[in-house]
Structure 1
Amino acid sequence: MHAPAPPPANRGLSWLAIIRIGLVQASIGAMVMLITTVLNRLMVVEYALAGAIPAALVGWHYAVQLGRPLWGHGSDKGGSRSLWIAGGIVVLGLGAIMAVQATVMIQQEFTLAMVIAVLGYTLIGVGVGASGTSALALLASGVAPERRAAAAAVTWIMMVAGIVVSAITVGALLQPFSPERLLSVASGLLITCIAITCIAVYRIEPRSGAVLAFAETAKSDPPPDFKEALREILHEKAARRFTLFIFVSMMAFNMQDLILEPFAGLIFGMTPGQSTQLGGMQSGGVLVGMIVAGIGGSAFAGRLPFELRHWIVFGCLGSALALACLAIAAQVGPGWPIAVNVFVLGFCNGLFAVAAIGAMMGLAGAGEKTREGVRMGVWGAAQAIAFGLGGMLGGGGLDVARRAIAHDPSAFQIVFAIEAGLFVLAAWLAVRATARGLAPARAIIERDEEVFA
């Protein structure tokens, strides 16, 4: 008699399940696009408000996401991340429609509109934090180690795709603009995104139940209370350093968002259309970098020099070099290959971003007691605050430098130099915050003194 064949190796979440979680990220990206770009432009241009008003509202929705660790802990204890994902999307949709309504009525009832807007952006922050943290925690607990880079690439690419597709669609449907059309188009977008998310997460956890037993981070004990979980994370050298790395790298990542198009216009004399195309070059570079890191990080997982921490370091140092070239371009002006420079910057940004998310998944279950949700929440909160501060540091720093120096090229040089320095610091922190090859998370904790000495 032949011995029965061994059961197939459990490889964690299937590619279809990973794509379904990517649809959640795409829906989040599409809904956030509505409030950070469409409503921002309407408030400043059509309704002639000071730019500080939409900037403050967007900054507030980032500040609200400091609650991500608490919501992640809730998904750890609740037994169903799907409910947290779907519930967060519904809250996000409710907040977004309130923000749209506040924008429409802002000229007639300014005070009431501002109250509604603050409440709406509060709900947006809660919704993004609860759904996004739970989706990443589901990935972290269910994706096989060799698939983490590719899974991160898939979800980030789908999020970017959701932003691009929704922006093109909404832009077309809003012509000609009217408040009634805005409400109609926004409602359609939000309902569609909520429906896609609910369908995407339907029964995704029962189908991957075996995955949780397979995952390196699986724990049989019930999760600790929130204070104990947070205390455990804060006492781990690895977790503290990785949190600092996420904060510094994401702040650097977001600094150029508000200054790249002004740079193109003031230094290179580009028209709005040309500067928008330049931004598209950067986004294209980000997508290519994500794809390369996703494929390379999975195909060559564990082989030098293709470990995740090396992708992170390559991406951070490459981004710093590209920014140093932009600082030179500020003095050279027209004639510099600005499109190539910006594409390379985007490419390196994509490399490090996908590798960082893959590393985050690998370290998410590093605690003896804490689960993936609360750890993803801590890092998600660091990322959200870094995004908000990065935008303020980039845009505000440029304003201060232009007033102090009264020389635009030098002002841009200073900001790009600061951003490049942050990326170099992030590369150093990445080396300190990740173990060689991202070894199994629990082994990292057990060898903490050896690895991080």
Structure 2
Amino acid sequence: MTLSWLSILRLGLVQMALGMIVVLTTATMNRVMVVELALPAILPGLLVSLYYGTQFLRPHFGHGADAGGRRTPWIIGGVAVLGAGAMLAAFAVGVMERATALGIATAVPAFLLIGLGIGAAGTNLLALLAARVAEGRQAAAGSAVWIMMIFGLAATGITAGLLLDPYSPARLLAVTAGVSGVALLLTLVGVVGQERSPAPQKPNQNRKLAFRASAAELWADRRVRGFTIFVFASMLAYNLQDLILEPFAGHVFGMTVGESTQLGGMHHAGALVGMIAVLLSGTLLSRWFTVPIRVWIVGGCLLSGAALIALAWGGLHAASWPIAPNIFTLGLANGAFAVAAIGAMMGLAREGDESREGIRMGLFGAAQAIAFGAGSFLGTAAADIMRSLTASDALAYGSVFAAEGGVFLIAAFLAMSLGTQPKQAPAADLIPGE
């Protein structure tokens, strides 16, 4: 039985819950460590890298749920572990104020728990959607749950910001505990009863394969392997600019902190519009026209690449360049391609004659998360290296943006090549949902 839109939106509450907790750990606690405690910025960067480092376990989490036949316990347990990790991280930040080394030692297991919780819950949430969302709805469903996640990020950022003033370690811990409690409640509302109705039946019963054998069989599938490589390349390009966009605006365009923050908001606004466009094309507008998933993916990658190359060019002509529309266009393309790619992941994860959605989605999710972590590091490292090699900030940042744009163009080519089967195979699209 496929999910109704109400059930899809209920599952979106889980994605919202994940975003609510994550924003406290990656934004709020990051700022406290660097500003209030005057610790090196590399410290939160290394702690977040621990979270990304756990994401190679996503296929294990998916395989475990595949073997057990139920995803609800993994989702609820994952959010509970995530909340516990966040509260331990908040406690660790408080300890850092009095004993830095002890606080850091406490933060390490906290961020490992954060990564494990996100991996377990996020992988099996998407696998549940993949197994039960009707064919053709995947991109729209992906848009809906990601929009809800962005709402959770924004709402938590605003509310927590109000509750945290004036800052104190006890207040940070209390706010984190409150947010974690609300997130767990939303998760329960989102998943309870969703697996009571039978899932669409697969032709064959699942074989009892060990994880290594199942993973090897999966990687031998040319379609899965090709799509995983595409996901890594596209998500690497997506995140390369994340940490250098606002410094670029300050160094090259002379923007103040407030102005560069607004520019970052322009990127998020564009991404939201792109996601809504994909959602509408799969719902309200679908009776008049339907845009295939591959068009959103390839078009989004091409437009993202063009926008980044334009940004590189614009930095060399900062006095007259319309940077705000450029950034909005980049966000628009990023948002449309990202949620369409999520929809394609769900479509490909549900294929096959056995219920292997978990390990497939785990593989795609691991590629995405590792690419995000690598993108954050490589983007900042490349900007620092180029700034040390040239006196022109515009040229230094521009070279990174141009390279990022090139990776997006490569990702677009990979996406187009996924639609071509070898001659001996049946003629069918590798990107599902068309």
- Bucket of the pairwise TM-score, normalised by the shorter protein: over 0.9
Q: How does 1:288-303 map to 2 (within 5 A)?
A: 288-297=273-282
**What is the aligned counterpart of 2:142 among 136, 140, 152?**
152
Does structure 1 residue 45 correspond to structure 2 residue 23?
Answer: no
Normalised by the size of structure 2, how large is the TM-score? 0.95
Return the alpha-carbon distance in structure 1 between the equivalents of residues 24 and 426 of structure 2.
43
Which amino acid letter does the alignment assign opposite residue 260 of structure 1? Answer: L
Q: Which residue of 1 aligns with 2:6?
A: 16
Does structure 1 residue 257 correspond to structure 2 residue 232?
Answer: no
Return the alpha-carbon distance in structure 2 between the equivalents of residues 367 and 265 of structure 1.
50
- The Cα shift of 1:433 comes to 2.5
CA deviation vs aligned residue, 1:154-212 (integer Å, no higher than 9, x gap): 01111111111100110111111111111111111111111111121111110x32x42
Which amino acid letter does the alignment assign opposite residue 185 of structure 1? Answer: V
Does structure 1 residue 332 correspond to structure 2 residue 311?
Answer: no
**What is the aligned counterpart of 1:386 among 371, 387, 396?**
371
Which amino acid letter does the alignment assign opposite residue 407 of structure 2? Answer: L
- The Cα shift of 1:324 comes to 1.0
- Give the 3 Å change call, closer, same or farther, for CA 218–266 of structure 1 in structure 2: farther
Return the alpha-carbon distance in structure 2 between the equivalents of residues 274 and 450 of structure 1.
48
Does structure 1 residue 349 correspond to structure 2 residue 334?
Answer: yes
Q: How does 1:173-322 map to 2 (within 5 A)?
A: 173-206=163-196, 208-209=197-198, 211-213=199-201, 219-297=204-282, 306-322=291-307
Sequence identity (%):
47
Q: Which residue of 2 aligns with 1:110?
A: 100
Return the alpha-carbon distance in structure 1 between the equivalents of residues 289 and 405 of structure 2.
26
Does structure 1 residue 398 correspond to structure 2 residue 376?
Answer: no
Alpha-carbon contact 2:203-2:353 (below 8 Å) kept: no
- Give the 3 Å change call, closer, same or farther, for CA 146–75 of structure 1 in structure 2: same
Q: Which residue of 1 aligns with 2:160?
A: 170
Does structure 1 residue 364 correspond to structure 2 residue 349?
Answer: yes
Q: Which residue of 1 aligns with 2:71?
A: 81
Return the alpha-carbon distance in structure 2 between the equivalents of residues 358 and 17 of structure 1.
17
Q: Which residue of 1 aligns with 2:132?
A: 142
Give the number of aligned pairs. Answer: 430
- The Cα shift of 1:382 comes to 0.5
Return the alpha-carbon distance in structure 1 between the equivalents of residues 426 and 314 of structure 2.
43
- Give the 3 Å change call, closer, same or farther, for CA 63–14 of structure 1 in structure 2: same
Alpha-carbon contact 1:229-1:370 (below 8 Å) kept: no
Return the alpha-carbon distance in structure 2 between the equivalents of residues 298 and 66 of structure 1.
34
- Give the 3 Å change call, closer, same or farther, for CA 397–203 of structure 1 in structure 2: same
CA deviation vs aligned residue, 1:220-275 (integer Å, no higher than 9, x gap): 33453212210111101111110000001011111111011111111111111111
Alpha-carbon contact 2:418-2:429 (below 8 Å) kept: no
Which amino acid letter does the alignment assign opposite residue 396 of structure 2? Answer: A
Alpha-carbon contact 1:149-1:298 (below 8 Å) kept: no
Alpha-carbon contact 1:297-1:307 (below 8 Å) kept: no
Give structure 1 stretches of 5+ with no counterpart. 1-9, 437-443
Does structure 1 residue 35 correspond to structure 2 residue 25?
Answer: yes
Alpha-carbon contact 2:205-2:354 (below 8 Å) kept: no
Return the alpha-carbon distance in structure 2 between the equivalents of residues 223 and 132 of structure 1.
24
Return the alpha-carbon distance in structure 2 between the equivalents of residues 250 and 20 of structure 1.
26
Normalised by the size of structure 1, how large is the TM-score? 0.91
- The Cα shift of 1:370 comes to 5.8
Return the alpha-carbon distance in structure 2 between the equivalents of residues 159 and 352 of structure 1.
17
Q: Which residue of 2 aligns with 1:129?
A: 119
183-192 or 373-382: bigger deviation: 183-192
Return the alpha-carbon distance in structure 2 between the equivalents of residues 375 and 235 of structure 1.
12
367-376 or 346-355: bigger deviation: 367-376
- Give the 3 Å change call, closer, same or farther, for CA 430–300 of structure 1 in structure 2: farther
- Give the 3 Å change call, closer, same or farther, for CA 88–450 of structure 1 in structure 2: closer
Give structure 2 stretches of 5+ with no counterpart. none
Q: Which residue of 2 aligns with 1:426?
A: 411
- Give the 3 Å change call, closer, same or farther, for CA 229–91 of structure 1 in structure 2: same
Does structure 1 residue 409 correspond to structure 2 residue 409?
Answer: no
Which amino acid letter does the alignment assign opposite residue 175 of structure 2? Answer: V
Which amino acid letter does the alignment assign opposite residue 26 of structure 1? Answer: M
CA deviation vs aligned residue, 1:35-93 (integer Å, no higher than 9, x gap): 10001111111111111110011011011111000000011112221110000000001
Which amino acid letter does the alignment assign opposite residue 130 of structure 1? Answer: A
332-341 or 412-421: bigger deviation: 332-341
Alpha-carbon contact 1:267-1:334 (below 8 Å) kept: no
Q: Which residue of 2 aligns with 1:120?
A: 110
- The Cα shift of 1:450 comes to 7.6
Return the alpha-carbon distance in structure 1 between the equivalents of residues 175 and 232 of structure 2.
35
Return the alpha-carbon distance in structure 2 between the equivalents of residues 357 and 297 of structure 1.
14
105-114 or 338-347: bigger deviation: 105-114
CA deviation vs aligned residue, 1:309-330 (integer Å, no higher than 9, x gap): 1110000000011111101111
Return the alpha-carbon distance in structure 2 between the equivalents of residues 305 and 410 of structure 1.
41
CA deviation vs aligned residue, 1:359-393 (integer Å, no higher than 9, x gap): 11110033444610000000111011000000111
The SS at the match of 1:334 is coil
CA deviation vs aligned residue, 1:307-365 (integer Å, no higher than 9, x gap): 11111000000001111110111101133111111000000001101110111111003
Q: Which residue of 2 aligns with 1:441?
A: none
The SS at the match of 1:332 is coil
Which amino acid letter does the alignment assign opposite residue 64 of structure 1? Answer: T
- Give the 3 Å change call, closer, same or farther, for CA 114–399 of structure 1 in structure 2: same
**What is the aligned counterpart of 1:101 among 87, 91, 109?**
91
Return the alpha-carbon distance in structure 1 between the equivalents of residues 429 and 334 of structure 2.
27
